[in-house]
Amino acid sequence: MHRRLATGLTGSALALVTVVGMATAAEAVPADKAQVLSSWTQTSASSYNLWVAARANQSAWSAYAFDWSTDYCSSSPDNPFGFPFNISCARHDFGYRNYKAAGTFSANKSRIDSAFYEDLKRVCNNYSGATKTACDSTAWTYYQAVRAFG
């Protein structure tokens, strides 16, 4: 009988420690998380560069509990016609997933989609002539798809 009582208390104590640990982890998220997220999801090249640097060093941002997961360009090609859109798609996923988790997706969707389009156009700026025209056209198509279906 003592053994059951001790086991029951140990289980209850473990549950309490787990709940307290979860509350502590939630409280540990830095207060500026929304500002950091916003700074990484703007349309500018500097915002993109900040996000790329952070993505390369995710462990430095672990306290923020960001969702870095991505399926890149979802069901569309990541590198259509050889244009490397995959990193632009990853940043787009980052914005969508983290704003959805924050409960502020609707207020930010338009800007995230616009940032995606600017990222794609920066990719296309590496080309010239007919290749750039084809890239710009593909970028426009990807942008329209996320606006309509994202």
Among 87, 90, 102, 117, which residue's Cα sits nearest to residue 38?
A: 102
pLDDT for 27: 61
Q: Where are the beta strands (DSSP E) in the chain?
A: none
Structure tokens given for 44: 């500018």
Give pLDDT tens digits for 69-97.
999 999 999 999 999 999 999 999 999 99
Q: For residue 89, give the 3-state DSSP assignment.
A: helix
pLDDT on residue 28: 80
Statement: residue 18 has pLDDT above 50: no
- Sequence spans of domains, the chain: 1-29, 31-149
Topology adopted by domain 31-149 = Phospholipase A2 (1.20.90)
The token duo for 51 is 């996000």
What share of the chain in percent tops pLDDT 90?
80
The whole model's pTM is what?
0.82
Separation between Cα atoms, residue 136 and residue 130, nearest integer Å: 10
Catalytic residues: 92
Residue 41's Cβ-count burial label (10 Å; 0-12, 13-18, 19+) is buried
Among 82, 81, 54, 78, smallest CA distance to 68 is for 54
Q: What's at 2, amino acid-wise?
A: H
Q: ∠81-82-87 over CA atoms, to 5°?
A: 115
pLDDT tens for each residue of 128-142: 999 999 999 999 999
